[in-house]
Chains A and B, each alone.
Chain A
Amino acid sequence: MLDAFFNWLHDTALAETIRASPLLFPWVESIHVLAIALVVGSIAAVDLRLLGLASRSRPITRMIDDILPLTWVAFAIAVLTGVTLFSSNAIQYAHNTPMRLKMLLLAIAGTNMLVFHFVTYRSVAAWDEAPRTPLPARLAGGASLVLWVGIVAFGRWIGFTIGS
């Protein structure tokens, strides 16, 4: 069933357009890399704050308000460009191991963020200004950092396993 979806994606006009031009793929890929760099660079600032390693004097709620708009805009662009790149060779990407591992880590990073947001963050008022955050917050920050390093590593690895 999933393969039917990937076949459909592969045959869309968008995928056809990318395949037909030698320049479109590198351009979309460059935007994808820029967007991911901004996601990782901005989220790392929040993660380091949660770990008590940077911006220790900045309240966490402020830190998150400062940074996350950038993270979300960049993430939206990363998803759009990522789907576009994926569509151009959907079947092969769908069966590529680094690609699958990247998506797995992305799903775990998303879950980590949801747990932090809906469980840990509810008590933020109690530790908003504390340089050292409670253990669950530190774990969320540490896990996020490690997961995003993995996402970048597997993303780069895709390029070494799939010929364009």
Chain B
Amino acid sequence: MIETLRHLEHWLSDTAMSATIQNVSWIIPTVQTVHILCVALVMGAVFVVDLRILGVLARTQTLAVLAQRYLTWIWWLLPVLFLSGAILIIGEPARSLLNPAFGAKMLLLIIAALLTLSVQRPLRHAAGFWESSTQRRVIAQGIAVLSLVAWSCIVFAGRWIAYVASL
């Protein structure tokens, strides 16, 4: 796995595209800004829905409507995040691909996306799914806490790519 990533890193760093991203000074800050703004929208959506499940805010709105209104955005934002993230990786492959913080971020992303999906999916067929029994309410609250932690850790891991040394 690490060897494959190392080959990919060497290959990427020799491409003309990588050189361009490196040499044009505004590209990396601008793409990072787009990336952070999309992260902000995802975080806003996840926090509103998870805090609603925990009964902290938006209690006058049903979970199904809230999930439909907010979580739907995430699946539109993720492609933009992948694209902007890919540009940053192509520009600085050595900084990111073999960085443990980046690896942690990708792993957390899979976990966080699955947690969010597991809240959202059942609501499409049964709007009251998570409120129909005490047991389900407790499960939903558990998922909400894990989801808040996982998505927050993604932001942390993203920032730590700048501080953790690559392998």
Query: Which residues from chain A sit less than 8 Å from chain B, CB to CB?
Result: 26, 29-30, 33-34, 36-45, 54-55, 58, 62, 65-67, 69-70, 149, 152-153, 156-157, 159-160
B44 touches A38 (CB 8 A): yes
Query: Which residues from chain B sit less than 8 Å from chain A, CB to CB?
Result: 29-30, 32-33, 36-37, 39-45, 47-48, 51, 56-58, 60-61, 69-70, 152, 155-156, 158-160, 162-163
Question: Which residues of chain A are near B32, meaning CB under 8 Å?
Answer: 156
Chain A minimum-CB-distance residue to B52:
A66
For the complex with contacts A42-B47, A43-B44, 7 further pairs of A-B residues with Cβ separation under 8 Å are A33-B155, A34-B155, A38-B40, A67-B57, A70-B44, A152-B37, A152-B40
Minimum distance in angstroms from B25 CB to a CB of chain A: 8
Question: Which residues of chain B are near A41, meaning CB under 8 Å?
Answer: 40-45, 47
> Bound complex: CA of A156 vs CA of B162, how far in Å?
12
Which of B33, B61, B69, B163 contacts A153 (CB under 8 A)? B33
Minimum distance in angstroms from A42 CB to a CB of chain B: 5
Question: Which residues of chain A are near B36, meaning CB under 8 Å?
Answer: 33, 37, 152, 156
A66 touches B58 (CB 8 A): yes
- Chain B binding site: helix, strand, loop or mixed by DSSP? helix
Chain B minimum-CB-distance residue to A62:
B60
Question: Which residues of chain B are near A33, meaning CB under 8 Å?
Answer: 36, 155, 158-159
> Bound complex: CA of A110 vs CA of B47, how far in Å?
23
A70 touches B41 (CB 8 A): no
Q: Could you list some 29 contacts between A and B, CB below 8 A?
A: A30-B156, A33-B36, A33-B158, A34-B43, A37-B36, A37-B39, A38-B40, A38-B44, A40-B41, A40-B44, A41-B40, A41-B41, A41-B42, A41-B43, A41-B44, A41-B45, A43-B44, A44-B40, A44-B44, A45-B45, A45-B48, A58-B69, A66-B48, A66-B61, A67-B48, A67-B57, A69-B57, A70-B44, A153-B30
